[in-house]
Amino acid sequence: MKVIAGGDRSVSYGGRFTGTVELEMLNATPSDDTPDTALIHFRDGAVTFWHTHPGGQQLVVVSGQARVGTDADGEVALAVGTLVVCPPHERHWHGAAPGADATLLAFTWGTTVWETLAPE
């Protein structure tokens, strides 16, 4: 058993974001077969750039007002407690609603493939 009381926010994360985002890594795994687990704190409407995950990603809205977007669905508002399941290689972005903060619990399989574009 491994009990983690809080993650490390001091590690620099190479993601691409608009605004202020803190990634709190709770459990980094050595292989792509098991997911990394992190709390991602988005401040004042901040969001990720477009990206994909080779093994997919699951997001749970822990607090605040969140949003996610895909090519197929456009932007979707998310309430606390909502689960988002992103299949492998689905192009998407996520973060806080405009003027709000949000914290997402992320389970991510594989290394994130970042684009250089922010959502419009």
CATH number assigned to the domain comprising residue 60: 2.60.120.10
Is residue 11 scored above 60 in pLDDT?
Answer: no
Distance CA 69, CA 87 (A): 13
For the chain, how many structural domains are there in total?
A: 1
Contact assessment for residue 15 and residue 44, using Cβ atoms and an 8 Å cutoff: no
Domain containing 35 equals: 17-110
**pTM for this one?**
0.91
57 vs 16, higher pLDDT: 57
Is residue 12 scored above 70 in pLDDT?
Answer: no
Distance CA 69, CA 97 (A): 11
Is residue 14 scored above 80 in pLDDT?
Answer: no
Is residue 5 scored above 90 in pLDDT?
Answer: no
Contact assessment for residue 77 and residue 69, using Cβ atoms and an 8 Å cutoff: no
pLDDT (mean) for 93-107: 97
In this structure, the number of other CB atoms found within 10 A of the CB of residue 12 comes to 6
Cα within 13 Å of Cα(1), Cβ side = 1
Task: Say if 5 falls within a structural domain.
Answer: no
Mean pLDDT (the chain) is 92
